[in-house]
Amino acid sequence: MPVAGGERFPNRRKPPMTALAALIRRDIRIALRVGGGALIGVLFFLTVVVLMPFAVGPDLALLSRLGPAILWLGALLASLLTLDRLFMADHEDGSLDLITMSRTPLELACAAKALAHWLAAGLPLIVATPVLGLLLNLDMVATAAVALTLLAGTPALTFTGMIGAALAVTLHRGGLLMAVLVLPLSIPVLIFGVAASQAVIVGPMTFGAPFSILCALSLVSLVIGPFAAAASLRHGLD
Amino acid sequence: MTLIDLANPTRFLALTARVLPWLAAATIILLTIGLYQSASAPDDYQQGATVKIMFIHVPNAWLSMFVWGVMSIASLGTLVWRHPLADVAAKAAAPIGAAFTFLALLTGSLWGRPMWGTYWEWDARLTSVLILFLMYLGLMALWRAVDDPSRAARAAAVLTLVGAINLPIIKFSVDWWNTLHQPASVMRMGGSALDKSFLIPLLVMAVAFTLLFVTLHLAAMRNEILRRRVRSLQMTQASQKAA
């Protein structure tokens, strides 16, 4: 745009990184305050894990064997359900239109929003893991392994789930349809996350191989997620 | 006649009406030859007569991936080139692809029972094909859930392109993970591992199934175009009544 004057638009000179940092700060703040609901994810995680002993029976040996799988499933569902409104709230109050029209590339803005969501809703899940590990009779090493794999794997869940969130806002549909569309994409993350944790607990595989694939999945979704989400926002919003 | 000329649905309908009978005839002839050859192929020295499941299973499995590839190209057509028939092609292909994937899983399972001793095993190839099947079903659900076809088309296109990542995973899963499903033996470096008496019927069947897909796909696209016309006529009629 040929409009001159840094005085009228003091933000013009600022590099886009500042805008992204502001976006991340804003999203985290909204998520943590009243009406945000980032911490509901942790509560959901806790509830799902507490439900499991009722389903499989309070056999501690069995629970410690199933522990990593239960924790991973809980984290997967929790991050999927909180992602539903990643773009929806911004769409309702109009800030999504501002973000799509701003000079910051939409892909970067999507990545920033997903990062903020992960910091606000994904990290608490990992912090809660040791406590839930106690409930499932996991020892120190196993809990640490699950927490580490969650740390490496939940970014992949957030960044692939973001595609579903973008579709949800462009189609005015959320909930089950999005879960059906996004869950198949998260199966590889689940496979390698649980495989790496099980490798520590029971062997005989090494921890390194599945863990590196898990990291690779996160990195790949870090690249693909923002582009796919931005594409569906660009083509879908009107 | 280029791809752009086909952007006119009427021209597309006229062309496919002329081509479809020939395609259908070619499909029937090739399928007959292929089935006859498969039936008269010798039994395997190890697997016996069950090896003949291969002539159905392998083409279905190939087609399950090929159809997603076709849908990915159509999705590019929707998002990049804005070709008017691209989303019709993508929508019409999804149920056909799902059917091929289901048949691949079913025949594989029936073949696995006598050979591996189990109908299902959570092996890398089987799991990745099952994910493909779930994604087909998800796409079909997406098409059904949204009433505005152009809106659904763009969402489905993004999802199809993301799902295309699964294709190389399926292809190379048997090489990356050493699991129950046998590694690639038809298309591999250093020539096929199959004997000619098996390879030729298999290739005939593969071509026949591809022709079958093209025939079904074109027919489904015609139906979809006509369905949309009927729908828009109904909408006009309803709005005229209201006015």
From the list B79, B127, B165, which residue is nearest A235 (CB)?
A: B79
Tell me which of A106, A169, A180 to substitute to probe the interface with B (most B C-beta atoms closer than 10 Å). A180
For a pLDDT cut of 90, what percent of chain B falls above it? 36
Question: Taking a C-beta distance cutoff of 8 angstroms, is the pair A84, A168 a contact?
Answer: yes
Please determine, for residue B25, whether its predicted confidence score (pLDDT) is greater than 50. yes
When comparing pLDDT for B74 and A237, which is higher?
B74
**CA gap B124, B110 in Å, rounded:** 18
When comparing pLDDT for B5 and B143, which is higher?
B143
For a pLDDT cut of 90, what percent of chain A falls above it? 21
pLDDT at B74: 93
From the list A180, A185, A231, which residue is nearest B79 (CB)?
A: A231
CB-based contact B155 A167, cutoff 8 Å: yes
pLDDT tens digits for range B67-101: 999 999 999 988 888 888 888 999 999 999 999 99
Task: Name the 3-class secondary structure at B44.
Answer: strand
**Strand partners for B48:** B44
**CA gap B179, B150 in Å, rounded:** 42
**CA gap A123, A160 in Å, rounded:** 17
pLDDT tens digits for range B118-146: 787 777 788 888 989 999 999 998 888 88
| Backbone phi, psi, residue B152, to 5° | -65, -35
CB-based contact B154 A191, cutoff 8 Å: no
Kindly list the residues from chain B whose CB atom is less than 8 angstroms away from the CB atom of residue A187.
127, 131
Q: Which of A145-159, B110-124, B162-176, B180-194 has the lowest mean pLDDT?
A: B180-194
Burial status of residue B209 (CB atoms within 10 A of its CB: 0-12, 13-18, 19 or more): buried
CB-based contact A232 B155, cutoff 8 Å: yes
pLDDT tens digits for range A61-104: 888 888 888 899 999 988 888 887 788 888 888 888 888 888 88
State the CB neighbour count (10 A cutoff) for residue A171: 21
Please determine, for residue B189, whether its predicted confidence score (pLDDT) is greater than 80. no
From the list A180, A224, A232, which residue is nearest B154 (CB)?
A: A232
pLDDT at B219: 94
| Cis bond upstream, residue B42 (ω within 30) | no
Kindly list the residues from chain B whose CB atom is less than 8 angstroms away from the CB atom of residue A235.
79, 154, 157-158
In degrees, rounded to 5, the angle at the alpha carbon of residue A42 between the alpha carbons of residues A184 and A37 is 95
Kindly list the residues from chain B whose CB atom is less than 8 angstroms away from the CB atom of residue A106.
none
pLDDT at A224: 92
Chain A positions with Cβ closer than 8 Å to B = 160, 163, 166-167, 170-171, 173, 177, 180-181, 183-185, 187-188, 191, 220, 224, 228, 231-232, 235-236
Tell me which of B132, B139, B147, B158 to substitute to probe the interface with A (most A C-beta atoms closer than 10 Å). B158
Please determine, for residue A53, whether its predicted confidence score (pLDDT) is greater than 80. yes
* H or E, element range at B20: helix B9-40
In the chain, the amino acid numbered A69 is A
Domain borders along chain B are: 21-38+49-180+193-235
Question: Taking a C-beta distance cutoff of 8 angstroms, is the pair B59, B205 a contact?
Answer: yes
Please determine, for residue B60, whether its predicted confidence score (pLDDT) is greater than 60. yes
Q: Average pLDDT of chain B?
A: 85
Kindly list the residues from chain A whose CB atom is less than 8 angstroms away from the CB atom of residue B127.
187, 191
Please determine, for residue A183, whether its predicted confidence score (pLDDT) is greater than 90. no
| Backbone phi, psi, residue B44, to 5° | -75, 145
Å between A128 CA and nearest CA of chain B: 30
Quote the distance between the C-alpha of residue B147 and its chain's center: 25
Question: Taking a C-beta distance cutoff of 8 angstroms, is the pair B55, B111 a contact?
Answer: no
**CA gap A179, A222 in Å, rounded:** 20
Average pLDDT over residues A192-197: 87
CB-based contact B158 A181, cutoff 8 Å: no
Average pLDDT over residues B170-188: 68
Please determine, for residue A194, whether its predicted confidence score (pLDDT) is greater than 80. yes
When comparing pLDDT for A117 and B172, which is higher?
A117
Question: Taking a C-beta distance cutoff of 8 angstroms, is the pair A71, A150 a contact?
Answer: yes
Please determine, for residue B32, whether its predicted confidence score (pLDDT) is greater than 60. yes
Predicted confidence band at A5 (pLDDT cuts at 50, 70, 90)? very low
From the list B134, B157, B161, which residue is nearest A184 (CB)?
A: B134
Nearest chain A alpha carbon to B170: A188
Nearest chain A alpha carbon to B131: A184
Predicted confidence band at A1 (pLDDT cuts at 50, 70, 90)? very low
Å between A5 CA and nearest CA of chain B: 36
CB-based contact B141 A181, cutoff 8 Å: yes
Q: Which of A28-32, A34-38, A210-214, B225-229 has the lowest mean pLDDT?
A: A34-38
**Strand partners for B64:** none
Burial status of residue A220 (CB atoms within 10 A of its CB: 0-12, 13-18, 19 or more): middle
Output the pTM of the full model: 0.82
**CA gap B232, A128 in Å, rounded:** 54
Kindly list the residues from chain B whose CB atom is less than 8 angstroms away from the CB atom of residue A191.
127
Most confident option among A29-38, B4-13, B22-31, B74-83 = B22-31
Å between B130 CA and nearest CA of chain A: 9
For a pLDDT cut of 70, what percent of chain A falls above it? 90
Nearest chain A alpha carbon to B153: A236
**CA gap B231, A238 in Å, rounded:** 23
Please determine, for residue A6, whether its predicted confidence score (pLDDT) is greater than 50. no
pLDDT tens digits for range B190-237: 566 677 778 888 889 999 999 999 999 999 999 999 998 998 899 899
From the list B127, B146, B161, which residue is nearest A171 (CB)?
A: B146
pLDDT at B114: 81
Predicted confidence band at A11 (pLDDT cuts at 50, 70, 90)? low
Kindly list the residues from chain B whose CB atom is less than 8 angstroms away from the CB atom of residue A224.
162, 165
